[in-house]
Structure 1
Amino acid sequence: MAITVSKPVPVASPAADGGADQHRSHSLPALMLGAVGIVYGDIGTSPLYAMKETFVGAHPLAVDPVHIFGVISLVFWSLMLVVTAKYVFVAMRADNKGEGGSFALLALISRTLGEKRWTAALVTLGVLATALFYGDAMITPAISVLSAVEGLAVVNQGFAPLVVPIAIVILIGLFFVQSYGTARVGLLFGPVVLVYFAALAALGIANIIDQPQILGALSPHHALAFFLYDPRLAFLAMGSVFLAVTGAETLYADMGHFGRRPIALSWLTLVYPCLMLNYMGQGALLLGHPETATNPFFYMAPEWARLPMVLIATAATIIASQAVISGAFSVTHQAVQLGFLPRLHTKHTSARAAGQIYIPAVNWTLLVMVLLLVIGFKESTALAAAYGISVSGTMLITTAMLAVLIFQVWRWNRWLSCLVIGLFAVVDAIFFASNVTKILDGGWFPLCVAAVIFTVLTTWATGRALMRKRLAADALPLAVFTKSAKSVHRVKGTAVFLSTSADSVPSALLHNLKHNQVLHERVLILNVKVEDVPHVAPEKRLEIHPAESGFFRVILHYGFMEEVDVPADLARITQCGAPFSMMNTSFFLGRQKLVATREEAGMALWRERLFAWMMKNSESAMEFFKLPTNRVIELGSQLRI
């Protein structure tokens, strides 16, 4: 019998073009338009609140030429260094089979370098970056929608009491439509955000014409003059200036959707120029009208255009929030596949787009937290103090991981590597240190969220490792079992036993034999293995090893971005005798009841109980692996951890 065994999954080249191959069916302009709608919604809405918070936020600045020119210069060079240099020119080269983000970068480094003494520290950084992301995912919808709706108070002060209720209604509606998917609505994202960016540029140009000297703010000497004038206040202001670059990390995280080139070109030719025109327009307005510092974005528009601008800005913030919510679903899916979270019920909302998913538990948790933020903080100025620390922490971690990649994997020239990483590290460290000063003003919130998420992620990963260790200690090698099973009575059909290891006998098989005292004619020991690449080619999905007495070891390989479908992939097997028929196949699952105890050397007792609770409430393996409900048998056992 001919058996095909899959070859090792190949390592992606670090210089690959962001997964360009998977986007060849789309034209470059179409991909750029899609990138404008999805990738740049977050950073594109920063002009709504960044300048305002700099001058009237937690550490207000005097609205005078020194500070105005200094802030505009800091915004321009921050966007240049953080977004253009770090993310567009460096980070987006670090694609894992076309995918980006903390988990993808971590998997790329781990796969390339293997086990090193500092691997555990690297994994911890990757998990911490993911935990910080969830804090950002909660604050972004709240501050974005609030800042847009606050424009109504500029149109007419009588609308001020309605700002919070309107923002709540918009956010509730946004989260309630998630279960229907965004494939159709998503077609409008690009054009709507394009109109928004055009409005940003138009408002900026109209105000620059009145104060053309603001163009001189692009010179770095104004940023330096600001620091020399008042070093302490300039340092504190960096926490507000940082709001202009929040959203930069989505360029890397969403790279798999559009490819590196469309995202980079969209930034360099459209988004960056429009943002800077708007920031300079706000600076020009402040030069002539310092009293408009309370909301310079909307005061830039003439009175007749303010209400339409509120509507356009609100639409843009809804799109930015949608991108963050979708990102939370995607990150959660990756965490489940890579073993950092228990199985969660996931609904695929598009038959054509595998990335269009909906996770109810994540959706409703985010909604509750976002509403609490809006009700608790009530205005974007108060929320701005909480915003930034999680994003700046994530960026600092990304720089640390890029340092490992550049020095250990790409092996750039040492002096060039030190210069690049040193520059990124200094900029990120200044931003992070400045944001740390806002902890008591609201920055504690994302840190608390990150601490909870980090505890959950690490508890699940550690608990799974302990559980597998306990199971492996009691496991019987498959080769030994098959020799002793020759005398057992066999019945017709196929039995599939899911196992954490393809080399040992799963407990469900032993329990079945103990109670029923029979074996099926064909027995598959099935191991589902998630690789550290986003996608596995179909021809590399199956790995089959025959054993004695009608036993087969089968390994199914999946990427961490893929959906697991065991029956569909088993139906493709032609090397194990007759074709598979689900009506003649039984799936046996082992369900362990975990018992937390002080006696075993594992985790702290409270973490063991947390792990047991997560295990109990996780989605069943039957649903997660898409097994036919009428062909599944579960056999339980107790396991002490």
Structure 2
Amino acid sequence: MEVGNAMEEEKSRSEEHHVDQEILEEQKDDHILKGKNLPSSKKSAIRDSFDLEASRFTTNQGSSQVGDWKTVMKLAFQSIGVVYGDLGTSPLYVLPGIFPTGIKHNDDILGVLSLIFYSLMLITLIKYVFIVLAANDNGDGGTFALYSLMCRHAKASLTPNQQAEDKEVSNYRLDLPNRRLKRASFVKSMLENSQAIKFFILFMTMLGTSMVLGDGILTPCISVLSAVGGVKEAAIGLTDNMIMWFSVGVLIVLFQIQRFGTDKIGYSFAPILTIWFLFIGIIGLYNFFKYDPGVIKAINPMYIIQYFKRSKKDAWISLGGVILCLTGSEALFADLGHFSVRSIQISSCTLVFPAVVFAYFGQASYLRQHNQDASNAFYSSVPKPVYWPMFVIAVMAAIIASQSLISASFSIIQQSLALGCFPRVKVVHTSSKYKGQVYVPEINTILMLACVGVTLGFKNTLKIGNAYGIAVAFVFTITSAFLVLVMVMIWKTNMYLIVIYALSIWLLELLFLSSVLYKFIDGGYLPLLFAMVMMTIMYLWNYGYRKKYIYELDNKVSTVKLVEIASDTSIHRIPGLALFYTELVQGISPIFTHYVANVPALHSVLVFISIKSLPICTVPLEDRFLFKRVEPRELSIFRCIVRYGYKDARTEWESFKEMLAIQLKDFIRKDVFMSRLPHTTNMDSYESDDNEVSRLRTEEIAQREVEKVDEALNVGDIVHLMGENEVVASKGSSFLKKLVINYAYNWLRRSVRQVDEVFMIPRKRLLKVGMTYDV
């Protein structure tokens, strides 16, 4: 078994992109490349190459938010104000959506209540709180987090930027031979060797992400309209149009406060939502004991079977309303980056789940004696003395309910942006304590305009509910599909448990999906239309990004060519330090030769900087910069890879400059030391035998090179060189490819933030070099 696995790994390695072989060839020519850090346990590894040195990168990027219990409890309290608003306000509109034409049989209430109870138990509690949260990507959640998790354990990414440096975090690890391992290896091999499967998984990831964004639009609409509509109980003269315009005003205010960040919003909203959960729980218990405690019989799932026997097709159609009780469950996972697994589990089990269940049992108990109030079950069941306080809290809770999916939308946009699947937008980190708390201004504006448009277009919650159900059902089924892959390939879960999951939770979700698709014409088309637009944008960007990257990969400048150019006497070396930026991580961008051909001058110290986003949530600062010297050392040319996780904040230029200078000088000192180290694996013998003269000589050389860097820094501001490339379809390309590359992708590139804005490069010292890529 071990031999078979080794052969499989060898086969996988041999099928990697041809660039890996080119890298090895370069390393043969320039194998004395030194590491940045030299842990004492690895002092014998003194001749590491650039890529192999970087493989010492550890997976110590887990969420730092899971600290002491005080921090966990703070996050648990905050999460109430951010994560659960949608799930908590679903009692406002679920039962009216299930019984739009009234209750036909009194026992139908028991059947529906049993469906709601087991749906919450299986999907919200068991699936999300206890299973899906465990599939987080180092503290981050959402569809793209699941995708990046799979990319870290198998070569599933379509962009060929995998390196040996990422071995510790991206490669699948073999365990002791067993049947589960064989199954996991088979799935991994199938995923890595099939381009069609890679495309399909990326497609499903984009679909799931688009549906969550659709949730971010529909959640504010349905929550606010449902809560504000309750005023008609006390003010019958209010029209639907008046309620609609008031809801629009509330939505605009909601999106305007997003800029303050999850931290402040969470502390502000958490007390209100806590009061809301306590109110709906207490009122639910009150109604349960006052009207019909017999609804407790709904715990018996036989009432579900009787309901379907009695209502047949109508019962199946009503599932489109039942699924609305689960809205916001995905937010538990998508918002995980803002909090932590433990904090969400605590708040879910101690407050949210019990309160919501009590609320539904209370409403069902009330409807058993008041069938005629099904169209406004929530407000009708509220005791009259507490009606107005409840109305005020409901409106506030509905406003807060929108926060869960809005925050989730920001998180998944940040993830997709870092993985090259979304156009460049501004990401603002709103908390210095919690890295995952972000705000995306452009997405906030788009969501606000879409929410206002949907509210003005649909005007009531019934059609919005139909649309909402489709978005929710798609997200559930896609998450479950990815989760099964995680169970097989990464967790290596017992097959019996996987089958139980598929035949219970996943089958239930597919049943919900079939029901909501029935209402496609009655508003259900909206999330699919939105998803189609979003997926088109995401795929166009990802396609153009990959084509551009592959072109640079195929036309990169080799180390030999770089040395030849830098050693040319016709190329002038002027004082100062220049940084040449590129997204290519396996070599020097072809734009460099284009620059030298037009400007025959290089600065005394030149650093080629490759900005790389790893499919992990965060990279420790000590592992952020990786350096390599281009020999001979007299050229003072270095390569540097700057690695970010998708939750890492891009620091301001001054901070970046300071870190770069410190790390570069530190690398030079260690590089000089290792270059003068004898060819021995025994460090201690060298330290004892070497004489003081040699050590002083080594320190002198290192100091001289560090002073050269300092002099370059002191000459003036650093000069930044960056390619301004135009990507066009090559001659002979199909009409569709020309349309996608020449028009769609280039239009997107011009419409979004430019690379220098993303890297926060000072414009005054920026020099752009233009070049056309025929892809």
Q: What interval of TM-score do these two structures reach, taking the shorter chain for normalisation? A: over 0.9
Identity of aligned residues (%): 29
1:631 counterpart residue number: 765
Paired residue type of 1:155: A
Question: In the TM superposition, what whole-angstrom CA distance separates every residue of 1:152-180 from its partner, at most 9, and x where no partner exists?
Answer: 11122123342111101111111223334
Could you say what secondary structure the match of 2:641 adopts? Answer: strand
Residue number in structure 2 paired with 1:121 = 200
Does 2:227 correspond to 1:148? yes
Aligned partner of 2:81 among 33, 37, 41: 37
- Match for 1:188: what amino acid? S
Give the letter aligned to residue 110 of structure 2: F
Aligned match of 2:273: 193
**1:551 is aligned with what amino acid?**
I
Identify the match of residue 7 of structure 1 among 55, 59, 64.
Answer: 55
Match of 1:71 among 96, 112, 116: 112
Is the Cα contact below 8 Å between 2:262 and 2:338 reproduced in 1?
no
Q: How far 1:105 moved relative to its partner?
A: 1.1
**1:76-130 per-position Cα deviation (integer Å, ceiling 9, x unaligned):** 0000111122112211111211211111111111211234123332222212111
Read off the aligned partner of 1:460 and give its amino acid letter. Answer: W
Q: Distance in 2 between matches of 1:42 and 1:477?
A: 54
The one-letter code of the counterpart of 1:54 is I
Tell me whether 1:53 sits opposite 2:134 in the alignment.
no
Aligned pair partner of 1:591 in 718, 724, 728:
724
Unaligned runs of 5+ in 1: none
Which of 68, 93, 104 does residue 134 from structure 2 map onto? Answer: 93
Paired residue for 1:547? 630
Distance 1:408 1:185 in 2: 38
- Asked if 2 retains the 8 angstrom alpha-carbon contact of 1:501 and 1:527, the reply is yes
Which residue of 2 is the match for residue 235 of structure 1? 316
Distance 1:587 1:279, change over 3 A: same
| Partner Cα separation in structure 2 for residue 39 and residue 322 of structure 1 | 7
Distance in 2 of aligned mates of 1:32 and 1:267: 9
Partner Cα separation in structure 1 for residue 266 and residue 757 of structure 2: 28
Single out whichever of 204-213 and 495-504 deviates more from structure 2: 495-504
User: What TM-score comes out, normalization by structure 1 length?
Assistant: 0.94
Q: Number of aligned pairs? A: 634
Residues 1:186 and 1:453: Cα distance change in structure 2 (over 3 Å): same
Alignment-derived partner of residue 386 in structure 1 = 467
Q: Contact 1:497/1:508 (CA < 8 Å) preserved in 2?
A: no
Q: Which amino acid aligns with 1:607?
A: V
The answer to whether the 8 Å contact 2:94/2:322 transfers is yes
Structure 1 position 229, deviation (Å): 1.4
Specify whether residues 281 and 598 from structure 1 end up closer, same or farther in structure 2 by C-alpha distance, changes over 3 A only.
farther
Partner in structure 2 of residue 556 of structure 1:
642
Q: Following superposition of structure 1 onto structure 2, how do residues 237-386 of structure 1 map, counting pairs within 5 Å?
A: 237-386=318-467
Q: Does 1:442 align with 2:489?
A: no
Structure 2 residue matching 1:613: 3-state secondary structure: helix
1:480 offset after TM fit, Å? Answer: 1.8
Structure-2 change in CA distance of 1:200 and 1:441 (3 Å): same
The offset of 1:464, in angstroms, is: 0.9
497-506 vs 392-401, which deviates more? 497-506
Amino acid at match of 1:614: L
Aligned pairs for 1:458-537 within 5 A: 458-486=539-567, 487=569, 488-537=571-620
Distance 1:481 1:260 in 2: 48
CA distance 1:309–1:542, shift in 2 (3 Å): same
**CA offsets per residue over residues 172-204 of structure 1, 9 Å max, x none?**
111223334454343122111000001101211
SS at match of 2:238: helix
1:420 Cα deviation from its structure 2 partner: 1.7
In structure 2, what residue type is equivalent to 1:158? G
- Secondary structure, aligned partner of 2:139: coil
Q: Which aligned pairs between 1:418-457 and structure 2 lie closer than 5 A?
A: 418-457=499-538
- Paired AA for residue 134 in structure 1: L
Indicate the residue corresponding to 2:20 in structure 1: none
The Cα shift of 1:497 comes to: 0.7
The yes-or-no answer on 1:570 pairing with 2:660 is: yes
**1:108 matched to which residue of 2?**
149
| Whole-angstrom distance in 2 between the partners of 1:53 and 1:44 | 16
Q: 1:503/1:386 Cα in 2 relative to 1: closer, same or farther (>3 Å)?
A: closer
TM-score normalised over the length of structure 2: 0.78
SS across alignment from 2:425: coil
Q: Which runs of 5+ in 2 are unaligned?
A: 1-32, 37-52, 157-191, 669-705
Distance in 1 between residues matched to 2:388 and 2:593, nearest whole Å: 70
Q: Distance in 2 between matches of 1:132 and 1:8?
A: 38
- For the residue of structure 2 that corresponds to 1:495, the secondary structure is strand
The residue type equivalent to 1:526 in the other structure is I
Q: CA, structure 1 residues 81+277, in 2 after alignment: closer, same or farther (shift >3 Å)?
A: same
Give the 3 Å change call, closer, same or farther, for CA 46–65 of structure 1 in structure 2.
Answer: same
Task: Report how far residue 605 of structure 1 moved.
Answer: 3.4
Q: CA deviation at 1:300?
A: 1.3
Structure whose alpha-carbon radius of gyration is higher: 2
Residues 402-432 of structure 1: per-residue CA shift (max 9 Å, x gap): 1111112111222222122332221110011
Task: Give the aligned residue type for 1:623.
Answer: E
User: Match of 2:662, SS?
Assistant: coil
Q: Is the partner of 1:476 in helix, strand or coil?
A: coil
Contact 1:532-1:559 at 8 Å conserved across structures: yes
- RMSD value over aligned CA atoms? 2.2
Give the 3-state SS of the residue equivalent to 1:159 in structure 2.
coil
Q: Structure 2: which amino acid aligns with 1:523?
A: L
State which drifts further: 239-248 or 301-310: 301-310
Whether the aligned pair in 1 keeps the contact of 2:223 and 2:398 (CA below 8 Å) is yes
For residue 70 of structure 1, give the secondary structure of its aligned residue in structure 2.
Answer: helix
Q: Residue 239 of structure 2 aligns to a residue in which SS?
A: helix
Deviates more, 1:3-12 or 1:115-124: 3-12
